[in-house]
Structure 1
Amino acid sequence: MDMKLEVVILPVSDVDRALGFYVGRLGWRLDADFPINGSYRIVQVTPPGSECSIIFGTGLTQQEAGTLHGLQLTVTDIVKAQEELTSRGVEVSGPFRDETGAFHHAGDAHRVPGPHPERASYGTFAAFKDVDGNEWFLQEVTERAPGR
């Protein structure tokens, strides 16, 4: 049976401010905005080219706003992606690689500035945070691993 990740719930403190960031600043597609009542609102947005969306709102999660770290967006050119985000007013750290050459550690203590020396797929990252502090990573993938 196929199981596809379709939605991730994102904890935010202010729904309209988050909507302004993800749709207004990042330019993500607004799929739905359902204000059910004063204590329950569902907003769904989708990054360009993604089959997975994020949902945020009121009454959706007990997780504290800004506590989701490690969400990842895959890009084919990390420098262009960083330039685009920066042009939209988003502060982006990177590009960087992990000192191990593998997937990035939590935090920034093990980051080596600059892209992977050979620009190897899966080896270069950048990071940014939303208005609540939820942390997103960009990972450059130019050639998929077999079976992906």
Structure 2
Amino acid sequence: MLDRMDWKIELVAIPVTDVDRAKDFYTSIGFIADHDHTPSPDIRFVQLTPPGSGCSICIGRGLTSAEPGSVEGMQMVVDSADKAYEQLIAAGVAATPVEDLAWGRFTFFADPDGNKWALQELPNYS
């Protein structure tokens, strides 16, 4: 039997066309810019973390061969879908109105390249 160990998702690459535009977008909706390094002319690494998250995203140059805008299904959990929606709208993001689904309350948005995100307020089963 194998010893069990933790496997933690800590970084997800999000492909973008314009690193500065994407960095401005993500910081405008509350992500924290942790790192912005250019170790070589072909590589730029920008790490951004949503407030309170143990997982970050990275954007940049030379990080992934995925097409900009090809990411779908990225999901974050928030305390309030309504407040998240209001924050997105205040930042000029075209978010969907909050939807009540059996598995939570959601608002959806995309970054400037079309990478798609969902914000979920977990249901209260008590």
Could you tell me which residue of structure 2 aligns to residue 79 of structure 1? 82
Is 1:135–2:119 an aligned residue pair?
Answer: no
Q: Aligned with 1:93: secondary structure?
A: coil
Partner of 1:48 in structure 2?
A: 51
Q: Would you say 1:12 and 2:23 are equivalent positions?
A: no
Verify the 8 A CA contact 2:104 2:123 in the aligned structure 1. Answer: no
Q: Which amino acid aligns with 2:62?
A: G
Aligned to 2:69: 66
Alpha-carbon distance, 1:76 to partner: 1.6
Q: Which amino acid aligns with 2:118?
A: F
Amino acid at match of 2:73: G
Matches of 2:40 and 2:80, distance apart in 1: 42
- What TM-score do the two structures reach when normalised by structure 2? 0.89
| SS of structure 2 residue aligned to 1:91 | coil
In structure 2, the gaps of 5 or more residues are none
TM-score, normalization by structure 1: 0.77
Q: Do the aligned partners of 1:78 and 1:140 also contact (CA within 8 Å) in 2?
A: yes
Please give the alpha-carbon distance, in whole angstroms, between the structure 1 residues aligned to 2:104 and 2:29. Answer: 24
What is the correspondence of 1:87-106 to structure 2 with a 5 Å cutoff?
Answer: 87-96=90-99
Q: 2:41 maps to which residue? A: 38
CA distance in structure 1 between the aligned counterparts of 2:30 and 2:82, rounded to whole angstroms: 18
Percent of aligned positions with the same letter in both sequences? 45
The aligned amino acid for 1:89 is G
Displaced runs of 4+ in structure 1, greater than 6 A? none
Which blocks of at least 5 consecutive residues in structure 1 are unaligned?
97-114
Following TM superposition, by how much is the alpha carbon of 1:55 offset from its aligned partner in structure 2, in angstroms? 0.5
| Equivalent in the alignment of 1:100 | none
Q: Give the number of aligned pairs.
A: 122
Cα root mean square deviation, aligned = 1.7
Report the alpha carbon displacement of residue 123 of structure 1 after superposing the two structures with TM.
Answer: 2.2
Tell me the alpha carbon deviations over residues 99-118 of structure 1, each in whole angstroms, 9 at most, x when there is no partner. Answer: xxxxxxxxxxxxxxxx24xx
Q: SS at 1:133's partner residue? A: coil
Alpha carbons 1:76, 1:142 under 8 Å: kept: no
**Structure 1 residue identity aligned to 2:51:** P
